[in-house]
Structure formats: structure tokens, C-alpha cells
């Protein structure tokens, strides 16, 4: 039995060694993953469907909670299996087929996901805020056999035409099928660890979005990582961790389910550990969420920094009991050291619970995590890589760089996606033959911890959503009044970043920012539409090769403010 030493970090290091060393509950060994040797956990699952099977042991414990429903593990498993039987017997869904979901956050999204996994099929998470052209691309690209939609998006799905997938509504068709096939259960699917399980789309850097294809191994490795974190927390608190015993944690879900933060890192591991998800539905509101934390005794919350920043604006935080929170993780977009320090100082739970992380869709979970203690000792960093993640900083030629030198962040782990769906060229550009992922982000290693210096492809990150300027520019450039344009991000105190556009108008043609806003709103998700504009007749600056020179707004204020 370990005794906590005077140095807490030494205690954690000892605990990690005991858990991950030979004979440990989370023993790490070298194993072949898609032709490359890398560290993995020895005691691991092989199929996501196995998690659903074992979740029945949690019985009447709460799995999903909303303001109107409390769904137990037993009820959820029964409904998921019934829906899986319906998908298999009525619509012919099997291993490798795609089942797409287009919906805002609701329990039925989760049921449809687990029904898909029970068949060994691929769940396609479509962004609920996509405009019609984006939706049509996602459907063409993924070619699902079945598409689940909520009522709000049924009209968009109806416009896909007769050659599209079978469209089923979550409000009417899903409960009808569950009732019809209640008590049925398909046989367990025959899948391998590296067979695909989930397809999530990222914004396109040079046009259409790319589909990040995640494997059974990816989701299961994330689940084991969260089990490992539970073991660390339990031991730190003086409790005995039992892998097969349910966990009493209660997770608040506020991000869209079609993101890895919500699906891979909340919905899946919570089912495996017997803990509870409390799902916020509709738009994010500070006071309603604070009430949820108090009323539901939330212990864990993965939040985008813009949500956290809005909490700093609340004058009466003291009237809410937030003492249940033990882990408040910032994810999905970068956070300045100043904001993190404000969170630590001004939130009642901040000093000991705020955790920062660096993640991307292609990696399924966090690449690096900075604990509360590390945020205090090493401000501005996002911590060391998590277990089983290998990280290198490389130069423009792919050569390794020593600590202290800046370069591209490259990672290899069992969390890295299989590749981009039906895009061999993009996959080859992102993943080396020996499975190193080129993140496109630039950083430096200091004291074993990653400090990020720049973002890939001038990415704009707003409220947890990734926005690539080139995608917006492509659509905006098709407007007959636009001669050329440049889209960039400007820091915003609430959203993370604001989308800004400079538009060079065609000579003799007039257009207003209201007209251009309406034009984009019909073709892009709302969060990609610029909120700040500058219309000009002057051509954009170019370099010696004729390419438009991209500058951050702070350097050349293209917004004209």
C-alpha cells in the first residue's frame, strides 16, 4: 500500500508506475497496431459492442438524465438492442454499414449510437448546425444506409432525394421501432480491434469537410484512459478502486454529441464505468447550467473555454452550491493563461479542479493534459502527453527536434484515427507510414510539457467548433459581387474567436455586409458566418509568388476596426 509522500507529484508518479507496470491493473505493453509497434494496455476490450453487453450489470442506476427523463442502464440497453434488431431485420444494417445521425443533443441520439455499435456498423455523426450543402456532402460522402433525424431537421433530410438513405425520425420512428422489436437482440458482431466504429467530420481546409474515421480500438482506448483516471482519483481520495464496480461520478454534457468531447470522452466511458450523464439540451445558458450542477451534484464537466468565461460574468456565483465539482476540464479550443488564471481565482472550485487539455478530432481524446497543479507551476502549457501517447516536435522535413526548439507537434498512439474516410491523399498527408500523425499545430516542449505556439492552417476556433477560413472563403468567393476575400479569426472574450472577413468587391458591383451575411447563412453553418466585415475595392496584399498574404487581425486589422 502506498503512503502519500510530502511531494504530491512523487506520489502520483509512484501510483502511475504501480497501475501501468507489470501486473498492474492498467499494465502497458508494446503491441502491433496497424503494422507499427506502440504502447497499449494489456487488459483491454476488443469491440465497442461488449461495453453495451456489460452495462446491463449496472441495472437501475441512472445512465442518462435530462430535465424530463431519467434513463437507467437496463432501460437503455433494452431500447438499444431493440433498435439494433430493427435496423438489422428491417433495413439490413450490418458490420461496416453506415448509420448517420443528424440531431441536437437528446437521449435518442445516444440510443441510436449504441444500436449501431451493437451491429458492428459505423455511426456517422453529422453536425446538427450544417447548412443544406454541407449536409448533402456529408450524406454523399458517407453513404449511410439509414439516417436518423430530429424533427427540426427533418425538412432538410427530406430534400436529399429518392437516392438518399432511409430517413427515420427520432421523435416518432425510433420509439415505434423500439416498441415493435422490444425484447429482441441481435447476435454480437464479429469485428476486429482496428475495424471502423465512428465517422466524425472536421471542417475542410481546402474545400469540403474530411471524415475522421475512428476504430473500435480508438473508442476502447479512450474508455480505458478514463478508467485509469478514475483509479487515480479514487486512490488519491483514499478509496479502493475496483474496475468492475460502478462509479458514482456524474458528468455534465454541454457540447454537441457529434464531437469527441461528448461521444468518445463522455457517452462511451460513462456507460463502461456505470456513472451518470446529465445532458444539457438547447442553447447553453449560464444560470440554468449552474442550477444543473447544484441540483444534480455534478462532479465532472468538460467545457469549452467560452462557456467557462461566461461563468466569470456571473455576479452571484455564491448562491449556487458548486462544491460537488472535482474535475473541470477545458477542451476543444485554446485558452489564454490569463483566462485560466481567472478561472482558478474567481470560481469557487477553480484552484483544485480546473484542468486544461490539448485535443483534436483525429486523436479521439486529449493529446496532453495539464493538471491544476501544473497550471499553477507551468502556466501557458497544456501539460505532458497522456499515457500511451508518444509525442515529438519535428521540423519541416520531419526531423526530430530536441526540447526547447519549436516545430510541428507529431503524435502516435492507439487513439489516432484510422484515416480520412475515402480520402487516401489526405490520409497520406496527415499520417506517416509508421503511424505518426502530423497535427499541423506548432509547439515546443518545456520541462516535459507542451506549449502550443500556433494553430493549424489559420484555424478559427469558436465555442468548440473548428472553422477553416478557406472553407468560408470558397463559399463567399462564389458570390457574384466578390472579387476576392480573406477570412480570419479575431479573439473574442466570449466565443473564443470571432470570424472576420475582408471582401474585395467586383468593380462597378455593389454589395452590403447584410447581403453577404444572408448569402452565407443559406450555405454554411451559422457559426461559420462572419460577424465582422470590411468591404473594399483595394486588392489584398500578395507575396512574391502571387499568394495572398495572411496576417492575423492584430497585425493588419483587416476588419477596419
pLDDT digits (tens, 9 = 90+) for 271-285: 999 999 999 998 888
What is the reported pLDDT for 546? Answer: 42
In order of their start, the domains of the chain are: 458-556 (3.30.300.30)
DSSP conformation class of 431:
B
Instruction: Name which residue leads in pLDDT, 342 or 292.
Output: 292
Which pLDDT does position 120 carry in this prediction? 98
Phi, then psi, of 384 in degrees rounded to 5:
-85, 165
- Angstrom distances, CA of residue 520 to CA of 103, 105, 370, 514: 22, 25, 38, 10
Residue 465 is predicted with a pLDDT of: 86
pLDDT at 351: 78
Cβ contact 369:343 at 8 Å: no
Structure confidence at residue 161 (pLDDT): 75
Edge-to-edge strands of the sheet including 532-536?
Answer: 482-492, 496-505, 532-536
- The residue length of the chain stands at 561
Q: How far apart are CA 452 and CA 288, in angstroms?
A: 33
Give the per-residue pLDDT at 545.
Answer: 38
Q: Is 459's pLDDT higher than 80?
A: no
Segment 508-543, tens digit of pLDDT: 999 999 999 999 999 999 999 999 999 999 988 864
Highest mean pLDDT among 26-40, 484-498, 539-553: 26-40
Q: What is the pLDDT of residue 555?
A: 39
CB atoms inside a 10 Å sphere around CB 193: 19
Write the DSSP symbol of residue 39.
Answer: E
If you average pLDDT over every residue of the chain, what do you get? 90
- DSSP assignment string, 262-295: TIIIIIHHHHHHT-EEEE--SS--HHHHHHHHHH
What's the confidence (pLDDT) of residue 203? Answer: 65
pLDDT bracket for residue 455 (50, 70, 90): low
* CA distance linking residue 401 with residue 274, whole number of Å: 43
Burial group, residue 114, by CB count within 10 angstroms (0-12, 13-18, 19+): buried
C-alpha cell at 288: 440554468
- Confidence band for 553, pLDDT divided at 50, 70 and 90: very low
**Per-residue pLDDT, 561:** 37
Question: Quick check: 4 pLDDT over 50?
Answer: no
More confident residue, 144 or 236: 144
pLDDT of 95 > 70? The answer is: yes
Tally Cβ neighbours within 10 Å of residue 429: 12
Give the whole-number percent of the chain exceeding pLDDT 70.
93
Report d(CA 518, CA 254) in Å as an integer.
28
Across the range 387-401, mean pLDDT stands at 95
Residue 279, beta-bridge partner list: 253
- pLDDT, tens digit, 9 for 90 and up, residues 419-443: 999 999 999 999 999 999 999 988 8
Rounded mean pLDDT of 307-321?
A: 85
3-state secondary structure 134-169: HHHHHHHHHCCCEEEECHHHHHHHHCCCCCCCEEEE
Q: What pLDDT shows up at residue 542?
A: 63
Number of Cβ atoms within 10 Å of the Cβ of 426: 17
User: Which residues, in sequence order, are CB contacts of 146 under 8 Å at separation 6+?
Assistant: 87, 91, 93, 99, 100, 165, 166, 167, 168
For the chain, the C-alpha Rg in angstroms (whole number) is 24
Q: How confident is the model at residue 128 (pLDDT cuts 50, 70, 90)?
A: very high
pLDDT grade for 344, boundaries at 50, 70 and 90: confident
Residue 5's pLDDT is 52
State how far the Cα of 197 lies from the Cα of 96, in Å rounded to an integer. Answer: 8
Q: So what's the pLDDT on residue 420?
A: 98
pLDDT band at 559 (very low <50, low <70, confident <90, very high): very low
Interaxial angle between packed helices 107-118 and 73-91, expressed in degrees from 0 to 180 and rounded to the nearest 10: 60
pLDDT of residue 556: 42
Residue 357: strand pairing partners: 369
Nearest to 83 by CA among 167, 197, 173: 173
Max CA pair span of the chain: 80
How many angstroms separate the first and last alpha carbons of the chain?
A: 62
- pLDDT tens-digit map of 27-45: 999 999 999 999 999 999 9
| pLDDT in the model for residue 372 | 86
Answer for the pair 516, 546: CB distance below 8 angstroms, yes or no. Answer: no
Instruction: Count CB neighbours of 142 within 10 A.
Output: 22
Report the pLDDT value the prediction gives residue 551, as an integer from 0 to 100: 58
User: Which percentage of the chain shows pLDDT scores above 90?
Assistant: 69
pLDDT, average across residues 205-215: 80
CB-based burial of residue 507 (10 Å sphere; 0-12 exposed, 13-18 middle, 19+ buried)? exposed
Q: Find the range with the poorest average confidence among 47-56, 98-107, 152-161.
A: 152-161
Amino acid at each position: 500500500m502506498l503512503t502519500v509522500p510530502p511531494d504530491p507529484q512523487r506520489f502520483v508518479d509512484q501510483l502511475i508506475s504501480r497501475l501501468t507496470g507489470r501486473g498492474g491493473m492498467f499494465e502497458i505493453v508494446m503491441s502491433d497496431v496497424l503494422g507499427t509497434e506502440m504502447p497499449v494496455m494489456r487488459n483491454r476490450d476488443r469491440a465497442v459492442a461488449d461495453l453495451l453487453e456489460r452495462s446491463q450489470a449496472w441495472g437501475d442506476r441512472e445512465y442518462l438524465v435530462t430535465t424530463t427523463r431519467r434513463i437507467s442502464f437496463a432501460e437503455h440497453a433494452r431500447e438499444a438492442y431493440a433498435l439494433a434488431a430493427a435496423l438489422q431485420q428491417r433495413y439490413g444494417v450490418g458490420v461496416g454499414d453506415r448509420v448517420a445521425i443528424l440531431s441536437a443533443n437528446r437521449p435518442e441520439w445516444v440510443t441510436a449510437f449504441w444500436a449501431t455499435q451493437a451491429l458492428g456498423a459505423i455511426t456517422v455523426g453529422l453536425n446538427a448546425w450544417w447548412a443544406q450543402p454541407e449536409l448533402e456532402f456529408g450524406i454523399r460522402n458517407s453513404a449511410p444506409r439509414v439516417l436518423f433525424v430530429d424533427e427540426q431537421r427533418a425538412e432538410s433530410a427530406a430534400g436529399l432525394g429518392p437516392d438518399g438513405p432511409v430517413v427515420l425520425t427520432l421523435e416518432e420512428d425510433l420509439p415505434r421501432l423500439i416498441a415493435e422489436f422490444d425484447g429482441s437482440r441481435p447476435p454480437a458482431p464479429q469485428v476486429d480491434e482496428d475495424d471502423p466504429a465512428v465517422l466524425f467530420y472536421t471542417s475542410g481546409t481546402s474545400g469540403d469537410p474530411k471524415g475522421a474515421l475512428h476504430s473500435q480500438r480508438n473508442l476502447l482506448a479512450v474508455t480505458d484512459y478514463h478508467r485509469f483516471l478514475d483509479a487515480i482519483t479514487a486512490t488519491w481520495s483514499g478509496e479502493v478502486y475496483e474496475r468492475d464496480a460502478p462509479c458514482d461520478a456524474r458528468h455534465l454534457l454541454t457540447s454537441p454529441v457529434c464531437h469527441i468531447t461528448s461521444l468518445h470522452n463522455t457517452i462511451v466511458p460513462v456507460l463502461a464505468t456505470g456513472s451518470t450523464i446529465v445532458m444539457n439540451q438547447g442553447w447553453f445558458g449560464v444560470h440554468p447550467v449552474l442550477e444543473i450542477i447544484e441540483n444534480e451534484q455534478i462532479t465532472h464537466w468538460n467545457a469549452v473555454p467560452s462557456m467557462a468565461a461566461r461563468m466569470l460574468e456571473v455576479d452571484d456565483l455564491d448562491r449556487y452550491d458548486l462544491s460537488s465539482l472535482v474535475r473541470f476540464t477545458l477542451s476543444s479550443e485554446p485558452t489564454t493563461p490569463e483566462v485560466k488564471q481567472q478561472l482558478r481565482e474567481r470560481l469557487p472550485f477553480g484552484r483544485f479542479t480546473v484542468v486544461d487539455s490539448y485535443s483534436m478530432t483525429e486523436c479521439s481524446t486529449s493529446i496532453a493534459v495539464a493538471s491544476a497543479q501544473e497550471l499553477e507551476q507551468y502556466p501557458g502549457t497544456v501539460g505532458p502527453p497522456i499515457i500511451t501517447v508518444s509525442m515529438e516536435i519535428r521540423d519541416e522535413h520531419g526531423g526530430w527536434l530536441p526540447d526547447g526548439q519549436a516545430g510541428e507537434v507529431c503524435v502516435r498512439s492507439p487513439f489516432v484515427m484510422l484515416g480520412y474516410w475515402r480520402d487516401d491523399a489526405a490520409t497520406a498527408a496527415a499520417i506517416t507510414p509508421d503511424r505518426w500523425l502530423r497535427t499541423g499545430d506548432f509547439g515546443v516542449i518545456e520541462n516535459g510539457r507542451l506549449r502550443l505556439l500556433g494553430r493549424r492552417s489559420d484555424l478559427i476556433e469558436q465555442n468548440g467548433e473548428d472553422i477553416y477560413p478557406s472553407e468560408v472563403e470558397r463559399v463567399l468567393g462564389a458570390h457574384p459581387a466578390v472579387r476576392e476575400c480573406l477570412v480570419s479569426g479575431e479573439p473574442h472574450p466570449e466565443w473564443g474567436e470571432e470570424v472576420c472577413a475582408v471582401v474585395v468587391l467586383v468593380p462597378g458591383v455593389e454589395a452590403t455586409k447584410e447581403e453577404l451575411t444572408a448569402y452565407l447563412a443559406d450555405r454554411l453553418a451559422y457559426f461559420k458566418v462572419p460577424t465582422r466585415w470590411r468591404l473594399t475595392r483595394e486588392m489584398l496584399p500578395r507575396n512574391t509568388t502571387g499568394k495572398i498574404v495572411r496576417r492575423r487581425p492584430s497585425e493588419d486589422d483587416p476588419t477596419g476596426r
